[in-house]
Amino acid sequence: MDDRDDKFEQQFKKGALEMVLLALIARRRTYGYEIIQQLGKIGAPLFSSTREGTLYPLLYRLEDAGLVAGELEATPGGRAKKYYRITEAGRAALKRRRAFWLMYKGCIDSILEG
Amino acid sequence: MTKQQYVRQIVGRIHANAGTRRRIRTDLLAGIAAKEEAGLTMEQIQAEMGSPEKVAAEFNASFAGTSTVTWYRRQRIARTAFLVLVVLAVLVLLFSGLGMLAFLAVAGPSVGIIGGADGPTSVYVTGEVVTGTPSGGIALLLVLAGLAILCLAAWLICRNRKP
């Protein structure tokens, strides 16, 4: 794979990861480490290398846009854990993005296979 | 390396304004706490996350082109301008103070020539000499102080500005 292929893949992953995060948080309230673990399991091989430096800036963008809400909670061990839950605006955005994705996928598939 | 040291080294390398850095610091510590709760040791966590340089580079790549970086740059410019103005103000204060002393050293004998001016009169004469001499320095000092206050305000705003 040359550099151009690598950039092409990075751009795709970056664009899709925001939607993937919304989908994961829509399933249930979750926190950063759990998201990284989920991406490692069900997001392999595309998103298994996602780390904090990629995840948190995207979560901030979603949080600042009002699509997810972060809540700091104390654990029984006395530590603070930050949970993310989807908001109503987030559910609506996910619905729109999913519809766009299906349309996009269908269009590209028909071009590539035609 | 303790988790506080590890997180401090990461956050110190991230090109984001202070508000975003605080947010990252809180989230990284919360993330590490979750990993510790899952049974990982600090060594394992660091091995999994990577060196502070690597983690910070990932953050910087993700923030590239966003308003966080813009506020970070503005914050640095405002801070540098503030520090330069403070140094200039101190220099002006120092030199106008020295200038005032030099003036008094030269003007001292002429004050003495007045003669008969003792007690309250001599204080009045000396007061005239002091307030009349460094007025340019005081005006410059006031301008520098005003600009420094503006830069300080800009610095604080940029520090805490949300993207």
Instruction: Give the residue-averaged pLDDT of A23-45.
Output: 91
The partner residue sitting opposite A60, judged by closest CB among B23, B57, B58, is B23
Q: Do B54 and B106 belong to one domain? A: no
Nearest-Å Rg of the Cα atoms of chain A is 16
Q: Do B81 and B41 belong to one domain? A: no
Average pLDDT along chain A: 89
Q: Do B55 and B92 belong to one domain? A: no
Compute the Cα dihedral for B53, B54, B55, B59 and give only its sign: positive
Mutate to test the interface with A, among B10, B35, B62, B68 (most CBs of A within 10 A): B62
Alpha helices in B52-66 (DSSP H): 52-63
Of all residues in chain A, the one with the smallest CA distance to B32 is: A33
Q: Are A95 and A76 in contact (CB under 8 A)?
A: no
Tell me, what's the ipTM? 0.80
Q: How confident is the model at residue B156 (pLDDT cuts 50, 70, 90)?
A: confident
- In percent, the amount of chain B with pLDDT more than 90 equals 25
Long-range contacts of B98-103 (CB under 8 A, 24+ apart): B99/B133, B99/B134, B99/B137, B100/B130, B100/B133, B100/B134, B100/B137, B103/B129, B103/B133
Question: Which neighbouring-strand residues pair with A27?
Answer: none
Q: Which domain holds residue B31?
A: 3-63
Domain count, chain B: 2
Q: Are B125 and B114 in contact (CB under 8 A)?
A: yes
Instruction: Give the model's pLDDT for residue B128.
Output: 45
Q: How confident is the model at residue B8 (pLDDT cuts 50, 70, 90)?
A: very high
Looking at the complex, report in whole angstroms how far the Cα of residue A114 sits from the nearest Cα belonging to chain B.
Answer: 36
Q: Do B102 and B136 belong to one domain? A: yes
Q: Do B76 and B112 belong to one domain? A: yes
Model confidence pLDDT, tens digit, residues A67-86: 999 988 877 777 778 899 99
Q: Do B44 and B118 belong to one domain? A: no
Q: Do B36 and B100 belong to one domain? A: no
Q: Where a domain ends, among B26, B47, B63?
A: B63
Domain regions of chain A by residue span: 3-113
Q: What is the CATH number of domain A3-113?
A: 1.10.10.10
Q: Do B58 and B89 belong to one domain? A: no
